[in-house]
A and B are shown apart, each in its own frame.
Chain A
Amino acid sequence: MAEPRHGGSRLLVVDDNKVNRLLLARNIELMGHKVVTVENGRVALQTVKREPFDLMLLDIEMPEMDGFQVLSELAKDLELRDLPVIVTSSLEGLDNVVRCIELGAEDYLTKPVNPVLLKARIGASLEKKRLRDQQKELVRRFATAEVAEDLQQTGFSLGGKRVSGSVLFADIREFTPLAESQPPEETIELLNTYYTLMFNAISGQGGIVSQIAGDGLMAVFGAPLPLADHCDAAVRAALEMIEMIDLFNVEQASASKPQIRIGIGIASGEMVAGYTGTNERATYTCIGDTVNVASRLEGHTKAAERSILIDAETRAGLAPEINVDSLGPVAIRGKAQPVEIFAVKPGK
């Protein structure tokens, strides 16, 4: 995992009091960040509209435009609403703290600010911003334009909604021995190629990749935007993924490099989709029984000796030209009743 690039971030300190400004700036510089200081809220808004910043430290009690007003203005601005703000104030009263948080402040520190606490909070806020930027980038790159736009508009608030969709899990079989048999650089290159191919197949069918971990990935069809034929789309993506892997293996074989095989599990139904996690770290994902079933089906592909396994709900939503074999009911961990399983036949 890459080192968080916290050093060298740009911070804006907003405080009408010179002693406070100097001291905060000093503490931040000692952490290795760059800092710009301004005297009031009005100048702060002008400054963040003009130059990029990673984080704002905001005082509340200020002439001209106070911190509450700054928070409100930032929340209204599509470009600026994701700029994290830590309120630093010696304001009296818990209701004021609550008001700051409600207005979108990420954190609240009482002045005089404890430098250790300040460092920890700044680190956490920058990390959160980094993840948010990454999430945006991920959405921009791997989602359709409509999905990306929907996410931009609805924002990244925690909390889910109930949706109907299909979940796809894919995993490289026997990946560990494969990874151990070749230099790490080649494994990374192989993974990069693999993910590029998989992402292409998934986004080509209107899905989004919501998680990747090691050699596995999870994709969602039908969220954040509804997809009428999500079962069909997910299975078509899976077929395309298998086809891509076959082509990839031909290339690998001709270069005398190892070939890979993947297993794919798909389940469909109701799930809760949205940003889950904590305020520190959140990710767009789907949760619920459907997700568990998809993951179990993927795990079962090896035993079943099939590349693509789907559940009955997914089967019911398929176009007639896609051929499946019924494998009958299979016991699945976490499910009281055996689950009807179908294998999708590659090719037509």
Chain B
Amino acid sequence: MNKKRYAIVLDTRRCIDCKACTVACKAENNVPLGRQNHRNWVTEEEVRGTYPHLGQSFTPSQCMHCANAPCKKVCPTSATGRSPEGIITVDEKRCIGCKYCMTACPYDARYYNEEIEAVDKCTFCQHRILAGRVPACVDTCPTKVRVFGDINDPTSEASKLLAKHPHRVIKEGMGTKPHLFYLI
């Protein structure tokens, strides 16, 4: 049997910018208040067209759990690691707060959490996955933008979506091999 490889597939056309995912994430993961403290976010693209023919897209995002993760490479104390399922993790006890990972991440996916005194980021809600649940942002989304799953399992919903639809990743040219896939 193949090793598991978790990923999230996103259909951004469904996103209504309600930001429930960011609220759910903050609550689920005890993310402190404050503008800079967030594990996920929704990018609001510019409005297209002229009135009354207008359009706007929203791109929800978070740590890409890159297969070639620059944050993991630069961490001097190996505090940043990778789970067997591909989740990029931070061991709080070993984080020295040098913030090198924050300068190395091309997605701005990390922040320094003053409460846990370490750099913090999305973990795909690892604690929920272990309990057989999906990440909070996936669970809460009213329009089901995100689909979480094991892309090494061809029968998973995420794999099926990727097989059926063309998709892209963000900043592909960085060579980070991100595992957040956006359907086109």
Q: Do A and B bind each other?
A: no
